[in-house]
Amino acid sequence: MRRARSVGTLLLALGVIACACTAANGPLPAVIANDNRTPGGQFKDGVLQVHLELRAGRWYPEKEGGVYRDVYAFAEGSGAPQSSGPLIRVIQGTRIDARIHNALPAAAEIYGLHQHPGNANDALTLAPGETREVQFLAGEPGTYLYWATTGGHSLEDRREEETLLSGAFVVDAPGAKATDRIMVIGLWEKGEDENREEILFLNGKSWPYTEQLSYQVGETTHWRVLNPSLSDHAMHLHGFFFTVDGVGDGERFAQYSPEERRLAVTEHIAVGHVFDMTWTPEREGNWLFHCHMVAHMQPLEAAEAKGGGNEAAHEHAAGMGGLILGITVLPGSGVAKTERALVRTPHKVQLVISDNPEKIPLYQVEVNDLAAPAAGNAKGVNGKKKAALLGPPIVLIRGEAAEIEVKNESAHETSIHWHGMELESYYDGVPGWTGSGQQITPSVEAGGTFVARMTPPRAGTFIYHTHAHDATQLVNGLYGPLIVLEPGQTYDPEHDKTFVFGLAKYGPLPTMLLINGTPEPYPARLKTGISYRFRMINITDNESEMHVRLVGNDTRRQWKVIAKDGADLPPVQCKSSPAELLISVGETYDVEYKAEQAGDVDLQIWLPDFPIRVTQPLTFAAAK
């Protein structure tokens, strides 16, 4: 996640003055939200003619007439400025004639208006009031973006008033159907560190004013997700897996073959990058697609009174805000609403949350497996109540119905989300949103209980964690691993090692990066010649760029990545590789590792903006 600004104070002041001068010349036009369903420009003799203009406007990230910010944005000709900018969408081989006018009081550099793939540093520079015309072929099929700046030379260096200067550029293969949806991520930012103010949005609006999509059960949908914002993100889809169809860096796009496409529920997207995805809703109800960084799901705070148009605090749907998309899945044609039947005695588990009398951490978590002894069940592997920065594992069996009772003995309401699980919407764990009709998921009040029902359809590594929109709960250990085994398997902690990466923040104490609830893990003793499964989970609050590697004698070892987010990777991707990964928040990875020689190996994690590297020592001894 981006933490610091590189633009100088003088440039920032000049930008504010420029925007103020523009406003002084008359009322600014309202910036309209662009759902990216209608391409801009007009075709004439097979050539797309598009007229873009850089203009100042007044942007309302929520409802019109509410909180606003004065910004720069792209408009199509004399039309209203848009967020995101006008969609450029053509078929491969099309020539584009673009006319760009800079109506801003500052010089601007425009990137991305050229053939793709191309030179990322290729920019058009326009003085205030200048107009330029360019002609180029669209290039290779893919998802790209264009953007502009009046101060820096990168997406991350843009000042707050220009962070809306971006748009989608899509090139379709001949014969392709343009039935997908395009989602452009945005981040308006002002200030630094604890004084930083952020507004997160999607296609120009913040939750709960983002577009809310509706699909039917069985309706396959394709999305293109673009990130021209100032920060990377970890985009998470509740309740369903999606396939990643291709990825790009804004200039180049790699379309995956069917054999290369992998499943995911959370996908990291770096600054300036894009990815294409396909998914099919299998269960009705309300669902979410959102950035898993807690800071990017916060409601927009009431702005200070700065002239008319900024209003007092207001209600937000389900207590969330920012980079969130709501999805309602309706029954398909001829599909009656049914509850999933539990055809046999469910595997019963109790998750108990209580206050820690020692205060640090604030909570303690207990998992009680209530299942009767039976072949293949996971009884005995779950934990006792303890004050720890990590909940004990919950272990379920694929295809076996389960009931998990969340028992809240703490003084604060909460809710538990079963991250990556394919279950009914009502049990998904987003209070005030998930469910359907009159049956909407409630919070688990202090002293209350809630029973979540699920039948895991796949074995893998998942997460349970608080979804109470309270960062304090997440950095106090209200999370843990959720492991689903194949029928007939038993949980074997001797060969199945789980490493949960978390973060702790307690008032005056320094922020602590954790492995399995501690900043200084004890050495783990393992054996040579044995293949181990390492399950790795990033459930920090905002750390979307967690680097993980396995080293011995200052040399990266080799491991085999076999699963992501609980889904097996395609066989073509399951190869031995250098032992290093970037694991974004909300992602899980499973790897296989076998040491051939005795000695010490370190599992290391670190963050780009965090000074301390945390190490889990692994000592391998010869097997007897």
The predicted-structure confidence for 24-57, as pLDDT tens digits, reads as follows 456 899 999 999 999 999 999 889 999 999 999 9
pLDDT at residue 187 in the model: 95
How is 524-546 classified by DSSP, letter by letter? Answer: EEEETT--EEEEEEE--SS---E
The predicted-structure confidence for 251-287, as pLDDT tens digits, reads as follows 999 999 999 999 999 999 999 999 999 999 999 999 9
> Do both 581 and 461 map to the same domain?
no
State CA 551 to chain mean position distance.
28
Task: Quote the number of domains for the chain.
Answer: 3
> Do both 119 and 146 map to the same domain?
yes
> Do both 167 and 37 map to the same domain?
yes
> Do both 325 and 387 map to the same domain?
no
pTM here is 0.91
> Do both 326 and 351 map to the same domain?
no
In a domain? residue 340: no
In a domain? residue 498: no
> Do both 541 and 471 map to the same domain?
no
In a domain? residue 435: yes
Sign of CA dihedral 228, 233, 234, 237: negative
**Residue 222 pLDDT > 70:** yes
602 vs 160 pLDDT, higher one: 602
Measured between its terminal Cα atoms, the distance across the chain in Å is 46
In a domain? residue 572: yes
Domain that holds residue 473: 347-491
3-class DSSP state of 405: strand
Last residue of a domain, which of 435, 459, 491?
A: 491
> Do both 591 and 617 map to the same domain?
yes
In a domain? residue 503: no
> Do both 147 and 47 map to the same domain?
yes
The predicted-structure confidence for 513-557, as pLDDT tens digits, reads as follows 999 999 999 999 999 999 999 999 999 999 999 999 999 988 999
Q: How far is CA 376 from CA 400, 404, 481, 574, 582, in A?
A: 11, 18, 19, 27, 33
> Do both 72 and 195 map to the same domain?
yes
> Do both 92 and 187 map to the same domain?
yes
The predicted-structure confidence for 196-215, as pLDDT tens digits, reads as follows 789 999 999 999 999 999 99
> Do both 295 and 362 map to the same domain?
no
> Do both 439 and 559 map to the same domain?
no
In a domain? residue 502: no
Of 356, 364, 362, 286, nearest to 325 by C-alpha is 286
Q: Return the CATH number at 442.
A: 2.60.40.420
